[in-house]
Structure 1
Amino acid sequence: MNLFQEAVTVGFVRASYRLSIYDSLYKEISEKERMYLQAYRSFESRYDSLLGLLLARQLSGACVNLVHDVKGKPVMKGSEKEISITHSSGITAAVVSPWRIGIDLEKNVEEKAGRRMLAAAGQSLLHSFPFTVLWTRTEAYAKMIGCGFKEDPALLFQEAAAPRSRWNFHTECFDKDMVLTICSEKPAFFQLKECFEDTVLQNK
Protein backbone atom coordinates (compact mmCIF):
# COMPACT_ATOMS: atom_id res chain seq x y z
CA MET A 1 0.00 0.00 0.00
CA ASN A 2 1.24 3.47 -0.90
CA LEU A 3 1.27 5.55 2.30
CA PHE A 4 -0.08 8.49 0.32
CA GLN A 5 -3.11 6.57 -0.91
CA GLU A 6 -6.35 7.13 0.93
CA ALA A 7 -8.17 4.11 2.35
CA VAL A 8 -11.68 3.59 0.99
CA THR A 9 -14.11 1.10 2.51
CA VAL A 10 -16.16 -1.16 0.26
CA GLY A 11 -19.12 -2.49 2.21
CA PHE A 12 -21.06 -5.59 1.24
CA VAL A 13 -24.07 -7.38 2.68
CA ARG A 14 -25.74 -10.70 1.94
CA ALA A 15 -29.46 -10.41 1.26
CA SER A 16 -31.88 -12.64 3.15
CA TYR A 17 -34.91 -11.49 1.12
CA ARG A 18 -37.06 -11.43 4.22
CA LEU A 19 -40.30 -9.49 3.78
CA SER A 20 -39.95 -7.92 7.24
CA ILE A 21 -36.54 -6.49 6.30
CA TYR A 22 -37.90 -5.26 2.97
CA ASP A 23 -40.74 -3.42 4.71
CA SER A 24 -38.26 -1.75 7.08
CA LEU A 25 -36.00 -0.73 4.19
CA TYR A 26 -38.95 0.59 2.18
CA LYS A 27 -40.01 2.92 4.99
CA GLU A 28 -36.63 4.69 4.83
CA ILE A 29 -36.78 5.92 1.24
CA SER A 30 -38.51 8.87 -0.36
CA GLU A 31 -41.63 8.74 -2.50
CA LYS A 32 -39.47 9.48 -5.55
CA GLU A 33 -37.30 6.45 -4.83
CA ARG A 34 -40.37 4.31 -4.34
CA MET A 35 -41.46 5.24 -7.84
CA TYR A 36 -37.98 4.38 -9.12
CA LEU A 37 -38.29 0.92 -7.58
CA GLN A 38 -41.25 0.14 -9.80
CA ALA A 39 -38.81 -0.26 -12.71
CA TYR A 40 -37.62 -3.49 -11.11
CA ARG A 41 -39.88 -6.40 -11.95
CA SER A 42 -38.75 -8.86 -9.30
CA PHE A 43 -38.96 -8.64 -5.53
CA GLU A 44 -35.30 -9.64 -5.29
CA SER A 45 -34.18 -6.73 -7.50
CA ARG A 46 -36.21 -4.22 -5.50
CA TYR A 47 -34.80 -5.69 -2.29
CA ASP A 48 -31.21 -5.42 -3.57
CA SER A 49 -31.76 -1.81 -4.64
CA LEU A 50 -33.15 -0.84 -1.25
CA LEU A 51 -30.34 -2.62 0.56
CA GLY A 52 -27.76 -0.83 -1.57
CA LEU A 53 -29.17 2.61 -0.79
CA LEU A 54 -29.17 2.00 2.96
CA LEU A 55 -25.71 0.44 2.84
CA ALA A 56 -24.35 3.49 1.02
CA ARG A 57 -25.96 5.74 3.61
CA GLN A 58 -24.26 3.77 6.39
CA LEU A 59 -20.88 4.03 4.68
CA SER A 60 -21.31 7.79 4.20
CA GLY A 61 -21.61 8.25 7.95
CA ALA A 62 -24.43 10.77 7.54
CA CYS A 63 -28.20 10.73 7.32
CA VAL A 64 -28.49 11.85 3.70
CA ASN A 65 -31.17 11.40 1.10
CA LEU A 66 -30.14 8.96 -1.60
CA VAL A 67 -31.78 9.29 -5.00
CA HIS A 68 -31.11 8.29 -8.62
CA ASP A 69 -30.46 10.83 -11.35
CA VAL A 70 -32.01 10.70 -14.83
CA LYS A 71 -29.37 8.21 -15.99
CA GLY A 72 -29.95 5.91 -13.03
CA LYS A 73 -26.78 6.86 -11.15
CA PRO A 74 -27.25 6.94 -7.34
CA VAL A 75 -26.38 10.30 -5.75
CA MET A 76 -26.43 11.76 -2.26
CA LYS A 77 -28.46 14.95 -2.12
CA GLY A 78 -26.62 17.79 -0.41
CA SER A 79 -23.27 15.98 -0.45
CA GLU A 80 -20.27 16.23 -2.74
CA LYS A 81 -19.31 12.62 -2.13
CA GLU A 82 -19.72 10.02 -4.86
CA ILE A 83 -21.38 6.65 -4.36
CA SER A 84 -21.68 3.50 -6.42
CA ILE A 85 -23.77 0.40 -5.79
CA THR A 86 -23.80 -3.08 -7.29
CA HIS A 87 -25.62 -6.33 -6.61
CA SER A 88 -25.33 -9.85 -7.93
CA SER A 89 -26.35 -13.34 -6.79
CA GLY A 90 -27.71 -12.21 -3.42
CA ILE A 91 -24.84 -9.89 -2.51
CA THR A 92 -25.04 -6.10 -2.51
CA ALA A 93 -21.92 -3.93 -2.36
CA ALA A 94 -21.44 -0.17 -2.14
CA VAL A 95 -18.62 2.35 -1.96
CA VAL A 96 -18.52 6.03 -0.98
CA SER A 97 -15.69 8.27 -2.12
CA PRO A 98 -14.68 11.97 -2.30
CA TRP A 99 -14.00 11.49 -6.04
CA ARG A 100 -15.70 9.75 -8.95
CA ILE A 101 -15.94 6.01 -8.51
CA GLY A 102 -17.75 2.98 -9.88
CA ILE A 103 -18.14 -0.59 -8.66
CA ASP A 104 -19.36 -3.83 -10.18
CA LEU A 105 -19.79 -7.37 -8.87
CA GLU A 106 -20.53 -10.32 -11.15
CA LYS A 107 -20.64 -14.11 -11.00
CA ASN A 108 -19.05 -15.78 -14.03
CA VAL A 109 -20.47 -13.65 -16.84
CA GLU A 110 -20.96 -15.77 -19.94
CA GLU A 111 -19.25 -14.50 -23.06
CA LYS A 112 -22.43 -14.79 -25.07
CA ALA A 113 -24.04 -12.15 -22.84
CA GLY A 114 -21.73 -9.51 -24.30
CA ARG A 115 -20.86 -11.07 -27.65
CA ARG A 116 -22.65 -8.38 -29.67
CA MET A 117 -20.92 -5.59 -27.77
CA LEU A 118 -17.55 -7.26 -28.09
CA ALA A 119 -18.09 -7.74 -31.81
CA ALA A 120 -18.38 -3.99 -32.11
CA ALA A 121 -15.44 -3.31 -29.80
CA GLY A 122 -13.15 -5.97 -31.25
CA GLN A 123 -12.72 -9.61 -30.20
CA SER A 124 -9.05 -8.91 -29.52
CA LEU A 125 -10.13 -7.32 -26.25
CA LEU A 126 -10.82 -10.80 -24.90
CA HIS A 127 -7.08 -11.40 -24.74
CA SER A 128 -6.65 -8.48 -22.35
CA PHE A 129 -8.47 -9.99 -19.36
CA PRO A 130 -10.63 -12.99 -18.47
CA PHE A 131 -14.14 -12.21 -19.72
CA THR A 132 -15.79 -11.66 -16.32
CA VAL A 133 -12.94 -9.33 -15.30
CA LEU A 134 -13.32 -7.36 -18.53
CA TRP A 135 -17.06 -7.16 -18.03
CA THR A 136 -16.78 -5.86 -14.45
CA ARG A 137 -14.10 -3.35 -15.47
CA THR A 138 -16.44 -2.08 -18.17
CA GLU A 139 -19.43 -1.85 -15.84
CA ALA A 140 -17.40 -0.14 -13.10
CA TYR A 141 -15.99 2.37 -15.60
CA ALA A 142 -19.46 3.09 -17.02
CA LYS A 143 -20.80 3.67 -13.51
CA MET A 144 -17.91 5.96 -12.62
CA ILE A 145 -18.57 8.26 -15.57
CA GLY A 146 -22.30 7.99 -14.89
CA CYS A 147 -23.57 6.65 -18.19
CA GLY A 148 -24.16 2.92 -17.82
CA PHE A 149 -24.36 1.13 -21.17
CA LYS A 150 -26.27 4.03 -22.69
CA GLU A 151 -22.99 5.17 -24.23
CA ASP A 152 -21.32 3.34 -27.11
CA PRO A 153 -20.51 -0.13 -25.64
CA ALA A 154 -17.50 -0.47 -27.95
CA LEU A 155 -15.89 2.64 -26.49
CA LEU A 156 -16.63 1.48 -22.95
CA PHE A 157 -15.04 -1.92 -23.54
CA GLN A 158 -12.01 -0.36 -25.19
CA GLU A 159 -11.40 1.98 -22.26
CA ALA A 160 -11.83 -0.83 -19.74
CA ALA A 161 -9.43 -3.09 -21.64
CA ALA A 162 -6.71 -0.47 -22.08
CA PRO A 163 -3.47 -1.78 -20.51
CA ARG A 164 -2.44 1.73 -19.46
CA SER A 165 -5.69 3.42 -18.60
CA ARG A 166 -5.65 6.85 -16.98
CA TRP A 167 -8.23 5.49 -14.56
CA ASN A 168 -7.44 3.32 -11.55
CA PHE A 169 -8.88 -0.19 -11.65
CA HIS A 170 -8.87 -2.57 -8.70
CA THR A 171 -10.08 -6.15 -9.25
CA GLU A 172 -10.19 -9.09 -6.87
CA CYS A 173 -11.85 -12.46 -6.56
CA PHE A 174 -14.80 -12.33 -4.24
CA ASP A 175 -16.72 -15.08 -2.50
CA LYS A 176 -15.21 -18.01 -4.46
CA ASP A 177 -16.67 -17.61 -7.96
CA MET A 178 -17.37 -13.87 -8.13
CA VAL A 179 -15.34 -10.92 -9.37
CA LEU A 180 -15.40 -7.43 -7.84
CA THR A 181 -13.97 -4.46 -9.73
CA ILE A 182 -13.68 -0.81 -8.75
CA CYS A 183 -12.89 2.00 -11.17
CA SER A 184 -11.62 5.08 -9.39
CA GLU A 185 -10.69 8.56 -10.51
CA LYS A 186 -7.78 8.50 -8.05
CA PRO A 187 -5.57 5.70 -6.68
CA ALA A 188 -6.70 4.35 -3.32
CA PHE A 189 -6.39 1.40 -0.97
CA PHE A 190 -9.68 -0.48 -0.96
CA GLN A 191 -10.68 -2.54 2.05
CA LEU A 192 -13.67 -4.89 2.10
CA LYS A 193 -16.03 -4.80 5.06
CA GLU A 194 -18.91 -7.21 5.53
CA CYS A 195 -22.03 -5.59 6.92
CA PHE A 196 -25.31 -7.15 8.01
CA GLU A 197 -28.92 -6.28 7.32
CA ASP A 198 -29.82 -5.63 10.95
CA THR A 199 -26.80 -3.33 11.33
CA VAL A 200 -27.67 -1.43 8.16
CA LEU A 201 -31.18 -0.83 9.50
CA GLN A 202 -29.92 0.27 12.90
CA ASN A 203 -27.65 2.86 11.25
CA LYS A 204 -30.27 4.16 8.82
Structure 2
Amino acid sequence: MLIVAVSLGTAFSVSELLPYVSPERRMRSSRLKREDDVHRSLVGEMLARMFAMGIEGLRNDEIRFEQGVFGKPRLSGMREPWDYNLSHSGKWVAGIVSRKGQRVGIDIQKMAAVDLLQARYSLSAEEMEHYHTLLHPDAQMHYFYDLWTRKESYLKMEGIGLSVPNRAVFSEQYALKYEQSLLSDQLPDHGFRQYPIDPGYVLTACSTDFRFPEQSLVVRAKDLAEVFLRRCREQEETACNRRDEVTVP
Protein backbone atom coordinates (compact mmCIF):
# COMPACT_ATOMS: atom_id res chain seq x y z
CA MET A 1 0.00 0.00 0.00
CA LEU A 2 1.16 3.51 -0.80
CA ILE A 3 -0.26 6.80 0.46
CA VAL A 4 0.82 10.01 -1.24
CA ALA A 5 0.10 13.58 -0.15
CA VAL A 6 0.82 16.25 -2.76
CA SER A 7 1.30 19.87 -1.72
CA LEU A 8 -0.05 22.42 -4.19
CA GLY A 9 2.19 25.17 -2.84
CA THR A 10 4.52 25.04 -5.85
CA ALA A 11 3.54 26.06 -9.37
CA PHE A 12 3.78 23.82 -12.42
CA SER A 13 3.05 24.29 -16.11
CA VAL A 14 -0.57 23.44 -16.87
CA SER A 15 -0.04 23.79 -20.63
CA GLU A 16 2.73 21.17 -20.60
CA LEU A 17 0.56 18.67 -18.73
CA LEU A 18 -2.67 18.98 -20.71
CA PRO A 19 -1.53 16.85 -23.71
CA TYR A 20 -0.84 13.94 -21.33
CA VAL A 21 -4.21 13.75 -19.56
CA SER A 22 -7.56 12.51 -20.81
CA PRO A 23 -9.73 14.62 -23.16
CA GLU A 24 -12.36 14.69 -20.41
CA ARG A 25 -9.83 16.15 -17.98
CA ARG A 26 -8.76 18.77 -20.50
CA MET A 27 -12.38 19.76 -21.03
CA ARG A 28 -13.03 19.90 -17.30
CA SER A 29 -9.93 21.97 -16.70
CA SER A 30 -10.98 24.49 -19.34
CA ARG A 31 -14.25 25.03 -17.49
CA LEU A 32 -12.65 25.65 -14.11
CA LYS A 33 -12.14 29.31 -13.30
CA ARG A 34 -9.87 29.08 -10.27
CA GLU A 35 -6.23 28.14 -10.80
CA ASP A 36 -6.19 26.06 -7.60
CA ASP A 37 -9.11 23.96 -8.89
CA VAL A 38 -7.27 23.31 -12.16
CA HIS A 39 -4.13 22.26 -10.27
CA ARG A 40 -6.08 19.93 -7.94
CA SER A 41 -7.80 18.31 -10.92
CA LEU A 42 -4.56 17.73 -12.81
CA VAL A 43 -2.62 16.49 -9.79
CA GLY A 44 -5.35 13.92 -9.11
CA GLU A 45 -5.14 12.57 -12.65
CA MET A 46 -1.34 12.53 -12.56
CA LEU A 47 -1.42 10.42 -9.41
CA ALA A 48 -3.90 7.96 -10.92
CA ARG A 49 -1.82 7.65 -14.08
CA MET A 50 1.39 7.16 -12.10
CA PHE A 51 -0.30 4.37 -10.15
CA ALA A 52 -1.44 2.72 -13.40
CA MET A 53 1.96 3.02 -15.07
CA GLY A 54 3.72 1.65 -11.99
CA ILE A 55 1.45 -1.34 -11.38
CA GLU A 56 0.29 -2.26 -14.88
CA GLY A 57 3.42 -1.21 -16.76
CA LEU A 58 1.31 0.74 -19.24
CA ARG A 59 2.34 3.66 -21.38
CA ASN A 60 0.49 6.80 -20.47
CA ASP A 61 -1.35 6.86 -23.79
CA GLU A 62 -2.66 3.32 -23.13
CA ILE A 63 -4.37 4.25 -19.85
CA ARG A 64 -8.15 4.44 -19.82
CA PHE A 65 -10.31 4.95 -16.76
CA GLU A 66 -13.92 4.00 -16.11
CA GLN A 67 -16.35 4.43 -13.24
CA GLY A 68 -18.11 1.93 -11.01
CA VAL A 69 -21.85 1.92 -10.34
CA PHE A 70 -21.62 4.80 -7.86
CA GLY A 71 -18.84 6.68 -9.64
CA LYS A 72 -15.66 5.33 -8.06
CA PRO A 73 -12.97 5.49 -10.77
CA ARG A 74 -10.89 2.48 -11.76
CA LEU A 75 -8.57 1.45 -14.55
CA SER A 76 -10.21 -0.17 -17.56
CA GLY A 77 -9.10 -3.74 -18.26
CA MET A 78 -6.64 -4.04 -15.39
CA ARG A 79 -4.44 -7.14 -15.50
CA GLU A 80 -4.28 -7.62 -11.74
CA PRO A 81 -6.75 -6.63 -9.00
CA TRP A 82 -5.76 -3.34 -7.40
CA ASP A 83 -7.61 -0.35 -6.09
CA TYR A 84 -6.91 3.33 -5.71
CA ASN A 85 -8.67 6.42 -4.44
CA LEU A 86 -8.10 10.18 -4.43
CA SER A 87 -9.17 13.13 -2.33
CA HIS A 88 -8.41 16.84 -2.26
CA SER A 89 -8.99 19.79 0.02
CA GLY A 90 -7.38 23.20 0.22
CA LYS A 91 -3.71 22.99 -0.71
CA TRP A 92 -3.46 19.18 -0.60
CA VAL A 93 -4.28 16.26 -2.90
CA ALA A 94 -4.06 12.78 -1.39
CA GLY A 95 -3.95 9.39 -3.07
CA ILE A 96 -3.90 5.78 -1.90
CA VAL A 97 -3.23 2.58 -3.84
CA SER A 98 -3.21 -1.07 -2.80
CA ARG A 99 -2.65 -4.33 -4.63
CA LYS A 100 -3.72 -7.98 -4.26
CA GLY A 101 -7.43 -7.23 -4.38
CA GLN A 102 -7.54 -5.06 -1.26
CA ARG A 103 -9.98 -2.12 -1.30
CA VAL A 104 -8.94 1.39 -0.27
CA GLY A 105 -10.44 4.80 0.36
CA ILE A 106 -8.98 8.12 1.45
CA ASP A 107 -10.28 11.49 2.56
CA ILE A 108 -8.54 14.73 3.41
CA GLN A 109 -10.30 17.76 4.82
CA LYS A 110 -9.17 21.24 5.74
CA MET A 111 -10.52 21.95 9.21
CA ALA A 112 -12.75 24.97 9.83
CA ALA A 113 -15.26 25.98 12.47
CA VAL A 114 -18.26 23.63 12.43
CA ASP A 115 -21.75 25.09 12.55
CA LEU A 116 -24.60 23.21 14.18
CA LEU A 117 -26.50 22.55 10.93
CA GLN A 118 -23.40 20.98 9.38
CA ALA A 119 -22.91 18.80 12.45
CA ARG A 120 -26.55 17.65 12.48
CA TYR A 121 -26.40 16.80 8.80
CA SER A 122 -23.23 14.72 9.17
CA LEU A 123 -23.44 13.11 12.61
CA SER A 124 -25.81 10.50 13.98
CA ALA A 125 -27.86 11.08 17.11
CA GLU A 126 -25.25 9.23 19.19
CA GLU A 127 -22.43 11.23 17.66
CA MET A 128 -24.27 14.51 18.21
CA GLU A 129 -24.75 13.60 21.85
CA HIS A 130 -21.00 13.15 22.25
CA TYR A 131 -20.33 16.30 20.21
CA HIS A 132 -22.31 18.37 22.71
CA THR A 133 -20.31 17.00 25.63
CA LEU A 134 -17.20 18.66 24.16
CA LEU A 135 -17.31 22.18 25.48
CA HIS A 136 -14.35 23.69 23.63
CA PRO A 137 -14.91 24.58 19.93
CA ASP A 138 -11.49 23.15 18.96
CA ALA A 139 -12.37 19.81 20.56
CA GLN A 140 -15.69 19.77 18.68
CA MET A 141 -13.94 20.64 15.43
CA HIS A 142 -11.32 17.87 15.76
CA TYR A 143 -13.98 15.34 16.75
CA PHE A 144 -16.15 16.31 13.79
CA TYR A 145 -13.36 16.06 11.19
CA ASP A 146 -12.01 12.86 12.71
CA LEU A 147 -15.38 11.21 12.19
CA TRP A 148 -16.11 12.96 8.88
CA THR A 149 -12.90 11.73 7.24
CA ARG A 150 -13.38 8.22 8.62
CA LYS A 151 -16.89 8.09 7.17
CA GLU A 152 -15.85 9.53 3.82
CA SER A 153 -12.84 7.23 3.47
CA TYR A 154 -15.01 4.23 4.36
CA LEU A 155 -17.73 5.16 1.85
CA LYS A 156 -15.13 5.77 -0.84
CA MET A 157 -13.47 2.44 -0.09
CA GLU A 158 -16.83 0.73 -0.53
CA GLY A 159 -17.45 2.71 -3.71
CA ILE A 160 -20.88 3.91 -2.60
CA GLY A 161 -20.10 7.59 -2.07
CA LEU A 162 -23.11 9.86 -1.63
CA SER A 163 -25.62 7.02 -1.92
CA VAL A 164 -25.52 6.72 1.90
CA PRO A 165 -25.95 9.78 4.13
CA ASN A 166 -22.94 10.48 6.33
CA ARG A 167 -24.99 10.55 9.50
CA ALA A 168 -25.97 6.89 8.91
CA VAL A 169 -22.40 5.61 8.64
CA PHE A 170 -21.15 3.84 11.78
CA SER A 171 -24.69 3.86 13.22
CA GLU A 172 -26.54 0.65 14.09
CA GLN A 173 -28.65 0.74 10.94
CA TYR A 174 -25.48 0.76 8.87
CA ALA A 175 -23.96 -2.27 10.56
CA LEU A 176 -21.02 -0.59 12.27
CA LYS A 177 -21.13 0.26 15.95
CA TYR A 178 -20.44 3.83 16.98
CA GLU A 179 -18.13 2.80 19.80
CA GLN A 180 -15.98 0.77 17.43
CA SER A 181 -15.74 3.49 14.82
CA LEU A 182 -14.59 6.04 17.37
CA LEU A 183 -12.33 4.01 19.62
CA SER A 184 -10.66 1.54 17.28
CA ASP A 185 -8.58 1.91 14.13
CA GLN A 186 -9.00 -1.80 13.36
CA LEU A 187 -12.40 -3.39 12.81
CA PRO A 188 -13.00 -7.01 11.73
CA ASP A 189 -13.07 -6.34 7.98
CA HIS A 190 -11.27 -3.02 7.54
CA GLY A 191 -9.00 -0.56 9.30
CA PHE A 192 -8.26 3.16 9.52
CA ARG A 193 -5.03 5.12 9.70
CA GLN A 194 -4.57 8.87 10.06
CA TYR A 195 -1.50 10.75 8.83
CA PRO A 196 -0.45 14.12 10.31
CA ILE A 197 0.70 15.93 7.15
CA ASP A 198 -0.48 19.41 8.15
CA PRO A 199 -1.82 20.79 11.47
CA GLY A 200 -4.83 22.36 9.72
CA TYR A 201 -5.92 19.16 7.93
CA VAL A 202 -7.14 15.67 8.75
CA LEU A 203 -6.09 12.83 6.42
CA THR A 204 -7.67 9.42 6.99
CA ALA A 205 -7.10 6.23 5.01
CA CYS A 206 -9.38 3.20 5.11
CA SER A 207 -8.63 -0.25 3.73
CA THR A 208 -9.43 -3.94 3.94
CA ASP A 209 -5.64 -4.33 4.09
CA PHE A 210 -4.40 -3.69 7.62
CA ARG A 211 -0.77 -3.19 6.54
CA PHE A 212 -0.82 0.59 6.42
CA PRO A 213 2.49 2.35 5.80
CA GLU A 214 3.98 4.08 8.82
CA GLN A 215 4.18 7.36 6.95
CA SER A 216 2.68 8.94 3.87
CA LEU A 217 4.89 10.02 1.00
CA VAL A 218 4.76 13.83 0.87
CA VAL A 219 5.75 15.48 -2.42
CA ARG A 220 5.42 18.87 -4.07
CA ALA A 221 3.09 19.24 -7.05
CA LYS A 222 5.95 20.68 -9.12
CA ASP A 223 8.13 17.63 -8.43
CA LEU A 224 5.30 15.22 -9.24
CA ALA A 225 4.65 17.03 -12.52
CA GLU A 226 8.33 16.88 -13.48
CA VAL A 227 8.53 13.12 -12.84
CA PHE A 228 5.26 12.49 -14.69
CA LEU A 229 6.27 14.56 -17.72
CA ARG A 230 9.72 12.98 -17.87
CA ARG A 231 8.23 9.50 -17.83
CA CYS A 232 5.66 10.34 -20.51
CA ARG A 233 8.29 11.88 -22.78
CA GLU A 234 10.63 8.93 -22.32
CA GLN A 235 7.78 6.62 -23.32
CA GLU A 236 7.10 8.73 -26.41
CA GLU A 237 10.78 8.63 -27.39
CA THR A 238 10.96 4.85 -26.91
CA ALA A 239 7.81 4.32 -28.99
CA CYS A 240 9.16 6.60 -31.72
CA ASN A 241 12.49 4.72 -31.84
CA ARG A 242 10.65 1.42 -32.16
CA ARG A 243 8.58 2.73 -35.06
CA ASP A 244 11.76 3.91 -36.77
CA GLU A 245 13.34 0.48 -36.36
CA VAL A 246 10.31 -1.18 -37.93
CA THR A 247 10.30 1.16 -40.94
CA VAL A 248 14.03 0.77 -41.68
CA PRO A 249 14.36 -1.57 -44.73
2:148 equivalent in structure 1: 135
Q: CA separation in 1, counterparts of 2:166 and 2:104?
A: 19
* 1:43 corresponds to 2:56: no
TM-score, scaled to structure 1: 0.78
2:129 equivalent in structure 1: 124
Shift of 1:28: 1.5
Match of 1:15 among 8, 30, 34: 8
* 1:89 corresponds to 2:90: yes
Higher strand share: 1
- What 5-or-longer segments of structure 1 have no aligned partner? 1-7
Q: CA separation in 2, counterparts of 1:86 and 1:12?
A: 10
Residue by residue, what CA displacement relative to the aligned partner does 1:154-197 show, whole Å, maximum 9, x if unpaired?
22253495515432111132222221100101211223112323
Contact 1:103 1:183 in 2 (8 A): yes
Matched to 1:142, the amino acid is L
Matched to 1:10, the amino acid is I
Shift of 1:48: 0.7
Identity %: 26
1:52 equivalent in structure 2: 44
Q: Secondary structure at the match of 2:4?
A: strand
Shift of 1:85: 0.7
1:146 equivalent in structure 2: 159
Q: Secondary structure at the match of 1:173?
A: coil
Query: Larger Cα Rg: Structure 1 or Structure 2?
Result: 2
Residue by residue, what CA displacement relative to the aligned partner does 1:49-95 show, whole Å, maximum 9, x if unpaired?
22112123223403362535263422122223211111122111211
Change (3 A) 1:152 1:131: closer
Q: CA separation in 1, counterparts of 2:29 and 2:70?
A: 14
Q: Secondary structure at the match of 1:135?
A: helix
Matched to 1:148, the amino acid is G
Change (3 A) 1:177 1:186: same
Q: CA separation in 2, counterparts of 1:43 and 1:160?
A: 41
2:65 equivalent in structure 1: 67
Contact 2:150 2:204 in 1 (8 A): yes
TM-score, scaled to structure 2: 0.66
1:106 equivalent in structure 2: 109
Q: CA separation in 1, counterparts of 2:178 and 2:25?
A: 34
Change (3 A) 1:119 1:11: closer
What is the RMSD computed on CA atoms of the aligned residues?
3.0
Contact 1:104 1:181 in 2 (8 A): yes
1:199 equivalent in structure 2: 227
- What 5-or-longer segments of structure 2 have no aligned partner? 134-139, 233-249
Q: Secondary structure at the match of 1:174?
A: coil
Contact 1:67 1:74 in 2 (8 A): yes
Higher helix share: 2
Q: Secondary structure at the match of 2:169?
A: helix
Query: Structure 1 stretch 137-146 or stretch 121-130: which is displaced more?
Result: 121-130
Query: Structure 1 stretch 158-167 or stretch 139-148: which is displaced more?
Result: 158-167
Shift of 1:12: 2.1
Shift of 1:101: 0.5
Q: CA separation in 1, counterparts of 2:163 and 2:37?
A: 20
Change (3 A) 1:194 1:172: closer
Shift of 1:17: 6.9
Change (3 A) 1:142 1:66: farther
